[in-house]
């Protein structure tokens, strides 16, 4: 049975299912190819982009204290990692939906073709090959179309998910490195500021002692004069 004969014996329901499967197939192929290419590009750029985003925040972090600096660093990293996750998952619902519903659309076409075969047998009263060949062939073609649409969608979905895991791994790994660098900067600033604080405390103690010495003769002079 060639496609022309098949198209002639199909009704409106079967033709609608055929165009639906064709649209899902084209959509899944285009979405899958674009998603895989973008995810592969994101794998190579996510770590450097995250470092650049944190480098732009260094001016704001330099004037903050240790607790505020760590909080800003963590929130910035979480925000950008969330954006990477959202960007890497764009298009996956289309692939997952196509992989899930395409076999059932083909199965519906199969049931509809078998229904046509049974109706032809009932109308003719004979179960010959001429009555069932067309509808059964229609049912088998719809089954094959549903499977042919679902398989590429599943393959693209699994490939994209696997690449996205690598994206999240690289992003989290660089985020931990940036957090460690931020902690080292906080420790370095604390070490640098410690001598200054010690010097200021020593000066304060010295000034306090000098003030006490200056006030003691003033208090003892009246007492000696009275005696």
The 10s digit of each residue's pLDDT in 114-165 is 877 777 677 766 666 666 666 677 778 888 899 999 999 999 999 999 999 9
Q: Phi, psi at residue 125, to the nearest 5°?
A: 75, 5
Q: Cα–Cα distance between 96 and 99 in angstroms, integer?
A: 5
Q: Residue 199: is its pLDDT beyond 60?
A: no
Q: Cα–Cα distance between 186 and 70 in angstroms, integer?
A: 9
Q: Residue 22: is its pLDDT beyond 80?
A: yes
For residue 78, the SS3 value is helix
Predicted confidence at residue 156, as pLDDT, reads: 95
Predicted confidence at residue 174, as pLDDT, reads: 85
Predicted confidence at residue 112, as pLDDT, reads: 83
The more confident residue out of 14 and 91 is: 91
The 10s digit of each residue's pLDDT in 42-81 is 988 888 888 887 777 776 666 666 677 777 778 888 888 8
Burial class (CB in 10 A: 0-12, 13-18, 19+), 121: middle
Q: Give the confidence band of 222 by pLDDT, cuts at 50, 70, 90.
A: very low
Q: Give the number of C-alpha atoms closer than 13 A to the C-alpha of residue 192, restricted to the C-beta side.
A: 6
**Tokens linked to 74:** 């963590």
**Tokens linked to 134:** 């067309």
160 vs 121, 124, 171, 196, 220, CA distance in Å? 48, 52, 16, 54, 89
Burial class (CB in 10 A: 0-12, 13-18, 19+), 36: middle
pTM, whole model, 2 decimals? Answer: 0.70
């Amino acid at each position: 049975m060639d496609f022309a004969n098949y198209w002639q014996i199909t009704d409106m329901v079967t033709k609608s299912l055929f165009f639906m499967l064709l649209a899902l197939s084209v959509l899944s192929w285009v979405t899958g190819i674009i998603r895989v290419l973008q995810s592969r590009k994101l794998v190579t750029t996510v770590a450097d982009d995250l470092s650049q985003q944190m480098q732009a925040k260094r001016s704001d972090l330099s004037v903050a204290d240790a607790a505020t600096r760590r909080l800003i660093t963590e929130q910035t990293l979480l925000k950008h990692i969330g954006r990477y996750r959202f960007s890497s998952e764009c298009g996956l619902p289309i692939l997952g939906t196509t992989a899930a519903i395409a076999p059932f659309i083909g199965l519906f076409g199969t049931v509809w073709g078998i229904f046509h075969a049974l109706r032809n047998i009932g109308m003719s009263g004979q179960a010959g090959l001429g009555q069932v060949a067309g509808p059964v062939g229609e049912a088998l073609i719809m089954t094959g179309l549903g499977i042919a649409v679902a398989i590429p969608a599943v393959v693209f979905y699994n490939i994209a998910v696997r690449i996205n895991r690598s994206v999240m791994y690289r992003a989290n790994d660089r985020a931990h490195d940036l957090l460690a660098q931020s902690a080292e900067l906080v420790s370095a600033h604390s070490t640098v500021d410690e001598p200054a604080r010690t010097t200021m405390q020593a000066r304060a103690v010295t000034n306090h002692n000098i003030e006490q010495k200056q006030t003691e003769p003033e208090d003892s002079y009246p007492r000696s004069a009275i005696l």
